[in-house]
Chain A
């Protein structure tokens, strides 16, 4: 009997410990990643390098974000003064040469933002991924020597998303996304994001340089470089209002 109990104890120990080591669920992985990458509020300075054929353009911008809203202002000479304001699921733009602010809607949201490989819609997504997609771990792979979980997410029923399916490679130790593939309902690959550099900023791993490729366009890519980021800054009230945009 003693032996049996000992055996049972060992068995239970083995079993539970193995689940402890292995059994992060897909949801837990995504949540751990969101702890790193999802921004409550932030102020970021970014550079966007758009490559199209032989042409290369650089745009710089400053962006303020809280959960549902964001305000982006371009600072490079060609686009200086152009501002985007995202309020919930609305997108408004201000142009120095226009007298009115303009609401961006409909099919335009699916076009490349300022000629880049990101669509306006990509910028609009502020919900946590876990609310929009149902994730499942499909395999484990290495990217540049870093072991990753490969997760596949299908859009939850009734949720409106730009991409029906996404595949995400998440670093097993740092819980930061290293690669992402976005698919249409038909199964066609629409976009591919590769993270080139991640860094630990204020205790969280965050992508510093990443490249997005719109697979429906030929020979284009957009590199986003994070120049500076401040988590949880103080954002003055009224920042995300139409009045402030004018």
Chain B
């Protein structure tokens, strides 16, 4: 076996250009796989993260009726505790469930700002700022100023929204909204922070204010529109969800609904499907570059027909001849994949740091869709190794086809041929 490997390796250098071109072709294929996979995984990760952080938590608790009215941000179906008890008691009970790390209250409502030219529709989020800072990446995207503080009449909003309403950090803005009792109210807030993110929802639509202020102005003391449960890992949802549902059924009298993060997203099923589709696309990408290798192998076998006949006549078994060519192809696959994986890793790592913005392409997209317009391809060793192994295996498999032609030759015929 050892000598076969040695011969195969030496054969690689008999036609340097041809081997080089094959290797480069493989390298390109594998590089694209690493990169494409980086983008897809990066996108999927960010869709999950954004959805969990800014929409659903790992588990979301809402009033049953609210589910249908969520888009309208109705205030008529709040989460306000179990059986008339305080909301805090409910939060404590939920925090008592195994593996629930944090319970995040949010009070979402529709609001307006009247500028000289137009009315700007917005969505107000009354939040507990400390909990938001722990759970979401809001601290990272807070470009200027600071987060809101409880007890103060202040707001934080996205760069695009500030621009639309002609306001600045440090300035004041008068916001209009309907209270839970249908009164129109206008309240002046100080803008204390500015967010900058590729997430359209946060950039153009949402403003944060302290939960206590939102509750006071909306006349919704001890009421929120949703509670988000945070677990140590999103994979634990299926384990915790039944327990939460049981608690809600027992204490809440069936009024509340607990939803896992998968149930509340339109994008996640799409992402799951796209991952499957893309895995096939990777295989085709590598196969495409294998055409060059197959072509090279066919040429090699043509050239070496006499040699193959000679080897067979000298007693080399068919299996060993097959091995010889597979190993030679394998070498090309190995070197090409290694180069490709390395190159792919470097490009992905670079773009993973810089990120690239496809916001222009999505400028008309609905702000309600939680899709970040900044993509940071995910750099991972796992991904790189995946592409390397995929490249090597597919190239070897692709070589089976031409190599089989070699062993079909009869030694006598083969020797005569040249």
Contacts and interface: CB of A to CB of B under 8 A. Distances in A.
Interface of A: 50, 52-53, 55, 57, 59, 78-79, 82, 93, 95, 97-100, 102-108, 112-116
16 contacts: A55-B76, A82-B185, A97-B186, A97-B187, A98-B187, A102-B174, A102-B186, A105-B114, A105-B119, A106-B118, A106-B119, A112-B182, A113-B184, A115-B178, A115-B182, A115-B183
B185 A102 contact: no
B112 interface: yes
Interface in B168-193: 172, 174, 176, 178-179, 181-188
Contacts of A98: 174, 186-188
Nearest to A103: B114
A50 B182 contact: yes
Contacts of A102: 114, 174, 176, 186
Interface string B4-15: 000000000000
Nearest to A100: B174
Given A104-B114, A106-B118, 18 more contacts: A50-B182, A52-B182, A78-B181, A95-B185, A95-B186, A97-B186, A98-B187, A100-B174, A100-B186, A103-B114, A107-B119, A108-B112, A108-B114, A108-B119, A114-B184, A115-B181, A115-B183, A116-B182
A114 B187 contact: no
Contacts of B187: 95, 97-98
B219 interface: yes
Closest 9 CB pairs of A and B: A115-B182, A95-B186, A98-B186, A99-B188, A97-B187, A98-B174, A98-B188, A106-B119, A100-B174
B217 interface: yes
Contacts of A82: 183-185
Contacts of A53: 76
B125 to A, nearest CB: 19
A100 B188 contact: yes
B123 to A, nearest CB: 16
B221 to A, nearest CB: 14
A176 B98 CA distance: 69
A211 B217 CA distance: 29
A42 to B, nearest CB: 24
B172 A99 contact: yes
A53 B182 CA distance: 13
Contacts of B182: 50, 52, 57, 112, 114-116
Interface string B298-329: 00000000000000000000000000000000
Interface centre among A53, A59, A98, by most B CB within 10 Å?
Answer: A98
Given A105-B119, A108-B119, A93 B181 contact: no
Given A57-B181, A103-B114, A115-B178, A93 B119 contact: no
Contacts of A105: 114, 118-119
A78 B176 CA distance: 15
B224 to A, nearest CB: 19
Contacts of B179: 78
A108 B178 CA distance: 12
A59 to B, nearest CB: 8
B216 to A, nearest CB: 10
B114 A97 contact: no
Nearest to B172: A99
Nearest to A79: B183
Interface string B177-219: 0110111111110000000000000000000000000000101
